[in-house]
Structure 1
Amino acid sequence: MAKSLKVGIIGAGAIARDVHIPNYMKCGDKVEIVAVSDVVKEKASELATEVNAPHAFSTYHEMFDSVEIDAVSICTPNKFHHPATIAALDAGCHVLCEKPPAMTVQEAVEMAETANKQGKILTYGFHFRHAPEVEALKRFIDNDDLGAIYAARVTAMRRRGIPGWGVFTNKELQGGGPLIDIGVHMLDTALYLMGYPEPDTVFGVTYQKIGKRKGVGLMGQWDWENFTIEDMARGMITFKNGASILLDSAFAANVEKHDEMNVSLMGDQGGADVFPLKIYQEKHDVLLDTTPSFLPRKGYHELEIERFVESCLSGIPPISTPKEGVYLQQIINGLYESAEKGEAVKVERVLSD
């Protein structure tokens, strides 16, 4: 077992500066941040200086050629997840890639296959899996308290929460809008709790009703003149085991709550809402609602990074796997394809068992 994990950062934006690096630093002597790369060399140098990383590069290829690195965090726009991941895996690094996995299903498949070929960890930044509500409910589910989960509802809705910074409204760089940015978190959470069933058919619709005009911005003023994503997406997913998910995701919609992120599950022995956690059951001729009086609290991102580091050092598999990343990418891309075609889309099997 290595004494210290040598980490490189690809992409010197806010997610690297505010999330990944601070939480690597909380790991103490287990982690050494040795390099930062960014297409804007000045940004890489500035961030490297801030965190006392000895090296800064304008390309990750140069970083891999110049410095010994054990693992990387990929914190780039979505368009660049695939090439950076492939390069890192081929360089012998473990990879924590921000969500979503990629832009296309084929890219996600190639990432999974390369991780398997190189024998390296590839995991994704689905930090809601590390929420105490999710961890607690997963124990109930594993103990069969909900029975067979056959239906779920996924909600990731903002009233006027279009990001006023970054490239979140640029379809070419991101691949989509709220579905691929915030909807993906709740969708992954639901799939994780359901045991990540294999998708079968998806039907989706997307809307662009609010984002292309100036309006009240609760997350800064967005660039409405160059708004190329959907501002709302809806969908239904069915799975080969007969289960189904209904999904609503929006950056901007005329709803009451400013921000709502939730997953609802329905099983034949019980159901649950996740945020906040409440479990619904029928026992002894009584309908019961159960809520926890205490849940341990630790930052979702902190646990995500901490567990990634432990996986790299110990070889224990992470809870988010490349195969799950492929399933998720198939659902996302299937929903967008369905919305474009105006009809349901069959999800083809792309991974061998």
Structure 2
Amino acid sequence: MSETLRIGIIGAGGIATGEHIPNYLNCGNKIKIVAIADVVEERVKHVAEEYNIPHYFTDYEDMFQKVEIDAVSVCTPNKFHAPATIAALQAGCHVLCEKPPAMKIEEAEQMAREAEKAKKILTYGFHFRHKPEVEVLKRFVDGGELGEIYAARVLAIRRRGIPGWGVFTNKELQGGGPLIDIGVHMLDTALYLMDYPIPDTVFGVTYQKIGNRKGVGLSGDWDWDNFSVEDMARGMITFKNGASILLETAFAANVEKQKEMNVKLMGDHGGADVFPLNIYQEKHHTLTDTTPKFLPKKGNHELEIERFVDACLTGGQPLSTPHQGVIVQQIINAIYQSAETGKPVQL
């Protein structure tokens, strides 16, 4: 590998131009973005010109054949995560793939196998792990301050936050709605803080009550006539170690807050709300609440990209692993399966 990490981008949409490309450029002379691929030629040409990327393609296979690349960001709709990631790994590249890992469990498992076979890094865009609240709380958890974490609540709810752009309401391309888009972030955050226990049984329900009709859009007008995903999902996950998670996620729900993204942990020595960070304990016969006075200000997307680049250059391992990606995919798909069948799913 060259001293400068040669980066390729697959997908020239909002997550690529809003987060990945700018934050790679923040890494200075550690990287060079050498190529970008997207099926829409006009879009990929425009992005390449805007960011001075020397090569652009409408087929990522052509990109791998014609340009030397060390690492790739996969920024496509969910349907294309697995094939793009597998192609990149087989081309000898490290991969940062946006969340969720894939559409199916089998795809996530194949992605993990290909990474092991290629001996390359595969990590996922679970960027909430890099938020300062999560990093601070993880140190408290690892230090035993919460004891055994046996219960958690996961919340990713918007009052009227159905995306009015992109393909977020297209089930064929995304695989689902809020569960697979925003719920997955808080689910991963909870699992990460709980040291990724092995799931046992999953029960879930989904609803489509608001998204398939015209309404107020706080994130732009969505295509309600072709709304094919759930607008709310709820689930309960139990784990082999006896712990459990209650999950609730929605693009649209008749609730008070415009948006709530949070994880609430309960352990036998303490509990915590993550956003904002508060830690609840009993010490010296007194109930105490602990709130950090100062938190670092560096952005979570910036840290995610920075740490991926450093791992590629040094041979380290980013926070998110392929095995954890498989577990997340198992839980997501099990919630959808349970909602469809009306029965719990044993993993």
2:262 alignment partner, SS class: strand
Partners in 2 of 1:53 and 1:250 — Cα distance? 37
* Gap regions ≥5 residues in structure 2: none
Per-residue CA distance 1:306-351 (angstroms, 9 max, x = gap): 000001000111110000000000000000000000010001xxxx
* Contact 1:2 1:313 survives alignment (8 Å): no
Matched to 1:306, the amino acid is E
* Contact 1:39 1:59 survives alignment (8 Å): yes
Partners in 2 of 1:3 and 1:47 — Cα distance? 25
Structure 1 equivalent of residue 18 of structure 2: 18
1:7 alignment partner, SS class: strand
Partners in 2 of 1:33 and 1:120 — Cα distance? 19
Residue 309 of structure 2 is aligned to residue 317 of structure 1:
no
Residue 46 of structure 2 is aligned to residue 46 of structure 1:
yes
Partners in 1 of 2:87 and 2:183 — Cα distance? 28
Partners in 2 of 1:128 and 1:189 — Cα distance? 7
Partners in 2 of 1:278 and 1:256 — Cα distance? 21
Partners in 2 of 1:241 and 1:4 — Cα distance? 44
1:154 alignment partner, SS class: strand
Q: Alpha-carbon deviation of 1:45?
A: 1.4
Matched to 2:236, the amino acid is M
The TM-score with structure 1 as length reference comes to 0.98
Per-residue CA distance 1:65-110 (angstroms, 9 max, x = gap): 0000000000000000000000000000000000000000000000
Structure 2 equivalent of residue 344 of structure 1: 344
2:282 alignment partner, SS class: strand
* Contact 1:210 1:252 survives alignment (8 Å): yes
Structure 1 equivalent of residue 235 of structure 2: 235
Per-residue CA distance 1:268-302 (angstroms, 9 max, x = gap): 11000000000000111001011111111111100
Structure 2 equivalent of residue 152 of structure 1: 152
Partners in 2 of 1:344 and 1:190 — Cα distance? 21
Per-residue CA distance 1:254-278 (angstroms, 9 max, x = gap): 0000000000000111000000000
Structure 2 equivalent of residue 183 of structure 1: 183
The TM-score with structure 2 as length reference comes to 0.99
Partners in 2 of 1:240 and 1:170 — Cα distance? 34
Matches within 5 A, 1:1-353: 2-347=2-347
2:202 alignment partner, SS class: strand
Q: Alpha-carbon deviation of 1:40?
A: 1.2
Partners in 1 of 2:64 and 2:293 — Cα distance? 48
Matched to 1:140, the amino acid is F
Matched to 1:7, the amino acid is I
How many residues get paired?
A: 347
Partners in 2 of 1:255 and 1:81 — Cα distance? 33
Partners in 2 of 1:297 and 1:139 — Cα distance? 17
Partners in 2 of 1:120 and 1:42 — Cα distance? 32
Q: Alpha-carbon deviation of 1:47?
A: 0.7
1:287 alignment partner, SS class: strand
Partners in 2 of 1:318 and 1:199 — Cα distance? 22
Q: Alpha-carbon deviation of 1:2?
A: 3.8
Partners in 2 of 1:33 and 1:236 — Cα distance? 42
Partners in 1 of 2:225 and 2:176 — Cα distance? 16
Matched to 1:141, the amino acid is V
Report sequence identity in percent: 73
Partners in 1 of 2:254 and 2:41 — Cα distance? 42
Partners in 1 of 2:318 and 2:7 — Cα distance? 17
Out of 168-177 and 1-10, give the one that drifted further.
1-10
Matched to 1:145, the amino acid is E
Aligned-CA RMSD value: 0.6
* Gap regions ≥5 residues in structure 1: 348-353
Partners in 2 of 1:4 and 1:211 — Cα distance? 46
* Contact 1:155 1:183 survives alignment (8 Å): yes
* Contact 1:146 1:271 survives alignment (8 Å): yes
Question: Which stretches of structure 1, 4 residues or longer, exceed 2 Å deviation after superposition?
Answer: none
